Amino acid sequence: MMGLRSLIAVALASGAALLLNRAAAHGARPGPRLAFLLGPGVEEAAKTGFALALGAPVVAVHLGFGAAEAVYDASGRRASWSGPGLAAGAMSVVSHAAFGVVTQVILALARQPLLAVLGAAVVHALWNVAIVALVDVGRRP
């Protein structure tokens, strides 16, 4: 069950990600391509940083962030709660939970938050690249 600390951390991390994504979408620096590379680092730092600062469980915050992202994505103009929108939302929850597990494992082994954030950010960036490649393959005639 998600406690109040976790919910606050999710809200703060989601807000940080939303600000970055909106700035990138509107052509502000760093721009969409750089945001694609920086986005995972910002998201992972926000999720883990707010979780640790508030004493919330890291995996719960990552999972909650994935759920918030799923709702946001499915409520957009290009998505819906059926078909691809539902699948994308489910993958958001699953992938962010996995990033949380990666973070927690590195924290448990190395006890270095920066290393944990870096490891999760690399996994997240690789995930993004893989998803974009799969979508591109699906669009080819």
Record the pTM.
0.86
- pLDDT of 9: 98
Task: Name all contacts of 23-32 with Cβ < 8 Å and 24+ positions apart.
Answer: none
pLDDT tens digits, one per residue of 36-88? 677 899 899 999 999 999 999 999 999 999 999 988 877 765 555 556 667 77
